Amino acid sequence: MTKRELLEKAVKERILLLDGAMGSLIQQYKLKEEDFRGDRFKDHPCSVQGNNDLLSLTRPDIISTIHEKYLEAGSDIIETNTFNANRISQADYEMESITYELNKESARLASDAAKKFSTPERPRFVAGALGPTNKTASLSPDVNNPGYRAVTFNDLVEVYAEQVHGLIDGGADVLLLETIFDTLNAKAALYGIQKVLKSRKLEEMPIMVSVTVADASGRTLSGQTLEAFIISVSHFTLFSIGLNCSFGARDLRTYVEELGRKTQCYISAYPNAGLPNQFGEYDETPEEMSPQIWDYLNNGLVNIVGGCCGTTPEHIAAFAKLVEDAKPHVPKKLEPTTMLSGLEPLVINPESNFVNIGERTNVAGSRKFARLIRDELYDEALSIARDQVDGGAQIIDVNMDDAMLDAKKEMVTFLNLMASEPEIARLPFMIDSSRWEVLEAGLKCMQGKCVVNSISLKEGEEPFLEQAEKIKEYGAAMVVMAFDEKGQADTFERRIEICERAYRLLTEKAGVPPQDIIFDPNVLAIATGIEEHNNYGVDFINATRWIKENLPYARISGGVSNLSFSFRGNNIVREAIHSVFLFHAIKAGMDMGIVNPGMLQIYDEIEPDLLTLVEDVVLNRRDDATERLIEKAESYKDTGGEKAAASKDAWRSGSLEERLHHSLIKGIDNYLLEDLPEAREKYPFAIDIIEGPLMDGMNIVGDLFGSGKMFLPQVVKTARVMKKAVAWLQPFIEEEKKAAGNASSKAGRILMATVKGDVHDIGKNIVGVILACNNYDVIDLGVMVPTDRILQEAVNQEVDIVGLSGLITPSLEEMVNVAKEMERRGMKMPLLIGGATTSKVHTAVKIEPSYSGPVIYVKDASQSAQVVGALMSKKDVDSYTGKIREEYEALRQANSNKKEKKYLPIEEARRNKYHIDWDKTEIVTPKKLGITVFDDYPLDEIIPFIDWTFFFHAWRLTGSYDDIEKVNKTITPDEWLAKFSSESAKDKAREALKLWDDAMAMLQLIKEQQMVKARAVIGLFPANANGDDIDVYDHQQADKKLCTFHHLREQQEKAGKKHYYCLSDFVAPGDSGKQDYVGAFAVSAGEGIEPWIEKYEAANDDYSAILLKSLADRLAEAFAELMHFRVRKEFWGYASDEEFNHANLIRERYRGIRPALGYPACPDHSEKRTLFDLIEAEKNAGISLTEHFSMYPNASVSGIYLAHPEAVYFGIGKVQRDQVEDLANRKGWPLRDTEKWFPVNLAY
């Protein structure tokens, strides 16, 4: 086995031990200058005392002894003595020239020691240590020149490459990049490592990284959060990721646990021996440190553990005793998700709201910004970036492409300046240029994971792939334009053709993770008067929908303002176009866009006539849409600013409450000083204004935002207005409290915080105001508060209640973590849960079980005082919390909805399988083995196979309409209706008749207009059962296995049940001596349907759109039935004398079954991938699978054919963990990945 394989094997079996500090042991030798110099460097021109790395050359005996002491103590991995063995650090001693030698010799010493202690049962490993250097690429050492950098990316790449060559040549097994305090330094190091390993064909060499946090906020010295750091280095395949130095084990624990939740790598931790004392020494003994390390081990937090500053072989020996019985951390399997970072993370997943890209720091799009850059007025230019952050931008686009500028120089300068401004640098940046050298220069400045805007196939595949691979190596996501050698895509077909081609090239040839691909399918100007441009908007929307359904994990972006270019100067119309377009594009799947928040209207507040006209244009619903909108636009221009001003101020004539609502919805704070004093006169108390009209307005905003009719920048403005209103009212609230005589003694102390990763606090602030009004002492920790700080402050401040708030979905997981940590620390105080994403059910099911203290969900601010009052009441608290617990228990029961059921162990269920006497079974060899493809199958042959019962069920018309086809043929409508006894049944039957007539008309139209294309592929193959699986073989090479279908077996006990079915029961087992066969199929009747559905929807004819979809579904099912009929009769031929009989088909009165994968008999949807690969369904039938194994087109059916006469349909039902673990082992998948494809079947 290779060293990597040995290391992988070891880390899966047990927790591995690193060594401890090197420097602490060297200090014990009390070495002098001459010890460091030795004979070789006795005449060196400057002092070298303290250059510990030099001792590998001058006192190798000491270094070898230290290594051996750690190995004797139990270390599995020892580090080389090379923490500062790089040119930058060695420059302090004027010893740059011996850098390579230092690394090679240090690695040799460690390797020799490791070999002495290695055994076949327990190999030891050498980690080549790479320190951070003493310079930072992300920050300026000169406070007067924030754009200056003492070291560049390129410098660091060369420095680390030299060090890595020496370590490898000396015998290092692993590379360990440690004590990372600047992520840009680390990215340069990883880039250099990658370069060396590639050149030496050592790509498999394991790489460990270990970061250090600078303070209790959990950020690095260069300002990144831990999650942002993880995202920033995620482009490199890491063996492990960990934490070292910073703190002792107790204080580092929170961050180690966070690492485990946020990465799929193995986790390492080697903390200091406590915190330094007043003399800078580390005091924690092995006995004091061991319980803290045991806490790591007992909770499965780490895979590799060791010590940093102050730790010794005695510490490691103590840890060695602990790891013997400990359980390793199980790396978490994370769903591929688009993750970007600045100083803070930006995670974009299906639940995320639309991401707004700030566009004003673009010399091509902002004359002001271009002027400031040309005049080198960088402070003012930075204020533009800052304004975008304040305005709700989540990514900042920077473009310096101007003929009068040195774009490369200006890009580097401005990015460095932005990186020095924490409020700007917290966001990810988008480097925007049409010149590759500018993009690459920008990438070398990026500490976080940024976005490159953009690359395309314009120059062909080779440069496209070269640039993509480089971007991947720099660790960035990329915008890919819908542009190829033929030019810019301007139709739906061209957009999806280019995007699909680019996606395949990037994922299959360049190895780009699909979640790092952001397509820009080209937002082009509409309503230009040129007919070809009319479909530009709707084509973008449809292409977006197609990309989402067919190119898994890819994201969509676009420059929205391009759309309305033909109406420049008419902002009312432009704003309406942008809002309508975004409303529909976001629903289709658009994730982000370059949008000016000031050029948006609220969708619901667009003037109705204008809204209709704009939707006609954006969705191309009428031939005269452009002319009608131009005519309307003229009316806005003709009235000049008069009509707009009148309309703008009309709201001021509304009631006080309407005016306050309008101010909040529109984000207008100009009139607060006019409206709030009026409110003070109307409402008895200032708090009533907050709880009344202001909260009502916020609720309206919440509804608009939730339905996609307001966008995040607008909500940010709303929050700002609310904060100003609350701030203005606060002094009056305080006065009212004093007047009420409750200023002196407090009713209780409440600590509140928005959890880590979340910056939303408006709701929390309102709760704080309300509680303060009710005489509670409120301690507000603000936003983005780590768990450790929340709980430490709760103890220090002796609070009575902790309240957590959060708006975004990941906050829910963070709240669970807080609850778990409160339980671990033995806390008992009540925990309140609130915020937009929280719910009573989630609190009951996910949070309350994690904490034994009271956990209460608070729906909104108006409930807060009541809930806190009950918790603080000695008389009521027990009965109140008791009722809450009962209510939450009932919610959990309702949620689980699981009755106690009995299950057979899987082995016993297998013993009770359905037994077939294969000796007496005659197996029919298919007449046509292999794959058969059907393209554009005649619909007239499919229609007779339709089961109309399910068609009516789809329209919620349940009844017996089997004979409806006879109406107007052999019986009259009245005669048919007469069979229904009740009037309600007759009424429903009349509707069924109308629907039937419409369906027949639509079917005729489908055939005449060739609205859908029916395609199919079937395959018949040799096969045998292998336990619960079915092995499929090549019909031309009997011993060549093509694939395996993995199946589940029934386990749930039922009264009188004799057999526990699995689909493999109906296929002859391999040891039966008989060759059996199975079939596979995929059919579709949905190709070509989308444009027709869009046409109906664009004309507001939803009825026809739904009717067409439902008929396509029926045609697909009928096509599957027809293919099965032909397989039985012709292609397999085991029922060659079967005659077509519709009633028998509907009642499945024929031999054989065609179970669909993902349905009751085989609920594991992931098996569709095996099926599709076997018969090449995408190529042969035009059907593709999404990332969740849904089929596209939707009107598609797939499955397998089984021919045994005793084969029956059944449902697997619920299964137990023993079977799922067995299935995971057979598939070679982690258990969690296996479980997620049939969660409703899990009985545990």
Whether cis (ω within 30° of 0) applies to the bond prior to 635 is no
Q: How many CA atoms lie within 13 A of 355 on its CB side?
A: 28
- Show the CA angle centred on residue 1202, arms to residues 1201 and 1206, nearest 5°: 145
Rounded to an integer, what is the distance from CA 1238 to the centroid of its chain? 20
Rounded to an integer, what is the distance from CA 761 to the centroid of its chain? 23
Candidates 651, 637, 552, 641; CA nearest to 605 is: 651
Beta bridge partners of 479: 453, 518
943, 1222 in Cβ contact below 8 A? Answer: no
Q: Which residues are annotated as a binding site for Zn(2+)?
A: 245, 308-309
Within 10 A of 570 (CB to CB), how many other CB atoms are there?
A: 17
End-to-end CA distance of the chain: 38
Candidates 923, 934, 918, 861; CA nearest to 1120 is: 934
Helix orientation angle between 656-666 and 712-739, rounded to the nearest 10 degrees = 130
Q: Which residues are catalytic?
A: 758, 760, 811
In this structure, what token pair is assigned to residue 469? 């691979």
The phi and psi torsions of 477 (rounded to 5 degrees) equal -85, 170
Buried b (16+ CB within 10 A) or exposed e, 68-101: bbbbebbbbbbbbbbbbbbbbbbeebebeebbbe
SS3 669: coil
Identity (one letter) of the amino acid at 535? N
183, 151 in Cβ contact below 8 A? Answer: no
Within 10 A of 334 (CB to CB), how many other CB atoms are there?
A: 12
108, 168 in Cβ contact below 8 A? Answer: no
CA distances from 906 to 159, 579, 671, 912, 1064 (A): 58, 56, 71, 10, 15
- For residue 736, give every residue at least 6 positions away whose Cβ sits within 8 Å of its Cβ, in sequence order, or none: 685, 686, 687, 773
Q: Which residues are annotated as a binding site?
A: 245, 308-309, 691, 757-761, 805, 809, 861, 947, 1154, 1209-1210
CA distances from 555 to 37, 194, 286, 479 (A): 58, 27, 50, 9
Residue 742's Cβ-count burial label (10 Å; 0-12, 13-18, 19+) is middle
Cα separation, 969 vs 545, in Å, equals 43
Within 10 A of 904 (CB to CB), how many other CB atoms are there?
A: 20
Q: How many CA atoms lie within 13 A of 35 on its CB side?
A: 17
Segment holding 890, helix H or strand E: helix 877-896
5, 46 in Cβ contact below 8 A? Answer: no
Cα separation, 643 vs 646, in Å, equals 5
Residue 214's Cβ-count burial label (10 Å; 0-12, 13-18, 19+) is middle
